[in-house]
Amino acid sequence: MDSQISPIAGLGEPEAFLRVYIANRPPLSPYDQLDHLRVLESGEIADIVAKTGNHWRKIFNLYAKLAFFLDSLAAKSKVGQLPDNGQIGSGQNRRSQDSTWQNYRDHTLLQRGSGQALLFSAPVLSTHAVHIIMGKQHAQSLSVMTWFDDWEIINPDFSVSRQGRMVLCPYFDYRQLSNQKLDLLVQLVTSL
pLDDT in tens, 32-64: 999 999 999 999 999 999 999 899 999 999 999
The answer to whether the peptide bond before residue 27 is cis (omega within 30 degrees of 0) is no
Q: Give backbone dihedrals phi and psi of 123, rounded to 5 degrees, phi first.
A: -60, 135
Q: How far is Cα 55 from Cα 58, in angstroms, rounded to an integer?
A: 5
Q: Give backbone dihedrals phi and psi of 101, rounded to 5 degrees, phi first.
A: -65, -30
List, for residues 140-165, the tens digit of each pLDDT value: 999 999 999 999 999 999 999 999 99
* H or E segment and range at residue 159: strand 158-161
Which residue did the predictor score with more confidence, 110 or 127? 110
Average pLDDT over residues 103-117: 95
Residues 6+ apart with CB under 8 A from 112: 13, 39
Per-residue model confidence (pLDDT) at position 85: 37
